[in-house]
Amino acid sequence: MSAELIKNIVLSIITIAVAYVVHKVIMRSIDKFTSTLGKEVKAPKTVSMIIGFLVYGFAIAVILAIWDVNLAPYLAGLGISGIVLGLAFQEPLTNFLSGILVLVTRKVFESEVVDIDGLTGIVDVIKMNHTHLKTFDGKLILIPNRKVWSGVVTKFWPGNYRRIDVDVTVDYTVNMEKAISVLKRVLEEEPLVVKDESVENAVVFKSFDASGVTLTVRFWTERATYFDTLNAVASRIKSVFEQEDIKIPYTIVEVIGLKN
């Protein structure tokens, strides 16, 4: 093995090691800077991926220079193969450009609860070609960035609070005004329900059904207590209904036997 070859190998390894260290130092510096401002990086995985892409891309260029590799002759000699490669890379290139647009416009960002064309979950990381979405049942879905950019995105927590709608059906024998009053009292007494001037909790009529009158209980909750609030309100409604003797109708199936 020639001295020149050994030298190139050593320099290439050093370049990769330096790129790794630079990547880590930049990320630590960003974390330290944001900490001094009393804030945190909202998309650490995505920022790390972008910085890594730039740093390691530069490292690859340096390694090519170390080995004295000139890509121009190879690119010029592609000819018709270049057209084929262009068509083959059309989809990845579209996803790459769409990913940049998604990042720049912040159409979605890490840790956000979203629905993207019917797929619901938490955004884990936005990579150059795919957005990684973690569903609530533990699945990891890789959505092409072009679909994220051109698709319909529903954001479940655009603000601090989110509204929950619960339908409650009461028997026709129950006084409707009493039922509404009791349900309003439930919302007022439940501490997990948000009581803020910016939101309004309400009980509204929905429909006359075959088994009873259906009322919709609308109330607001914070993200951290979403499921706890839902369970607490449902439990409180059942308990209060039992105390007030308000009946919730249920279907009764009668089986009539046939005599021979």
pLDDT digits (tens, 9 = 90+) for 54-84: 888 888 888 888 888 776 666 566 555 555 5
Same domain, 95 and 37: yes
* CATH classification of the domain holding 120: 2.30.30.60
Nearest to 202 by CA among 188, 222, 223: 188
Q: Are 204 and 224 in contact (CB under 8 A)?
A: no
Position 143 scores a pLDDT of 96
The answer to whether the beta carbons of residues 26 and 91 sit under 8 Å apart is no
Containing structural domain, residue 111:
107-155
* 98 and 112 share one domain: no
User: Which pLDDT score, from 0 to 100, does residue 72 have?
Assistant: 65
Give 240's DSSP letter: H
User: Of residues 149 and 91, which shows the higher confidence score?
Assistant: 149
Question: How many structural domains does the chain have?
Answer: 3
Q: What is the pLDDT of residue 30?
A: 83
Q: Which tokens hold the place of 64?
A: 């090519």
Q: What is the DSSP letter of 224?
A: G
Enter the tokens of residue 6.
């050994």
Q: How many helices (H) and strands (E) does the chain have?
A: 8, 8
Residues 67, 71, 77, 82: is their CA dihedral positive or negative?
positive
**Claim to verify: residue 40 and residue 98 sit in the same structural domain:** yes
pLDDT tens across 193-231, in order?
A: 999 889 999 999 999 998 899 999 999 999 889 999 999
Same domain as 233, residue 189: yes
Average pLDDT, whole number, for the chain? 86
Average pLDDT over residues 186-191: 96
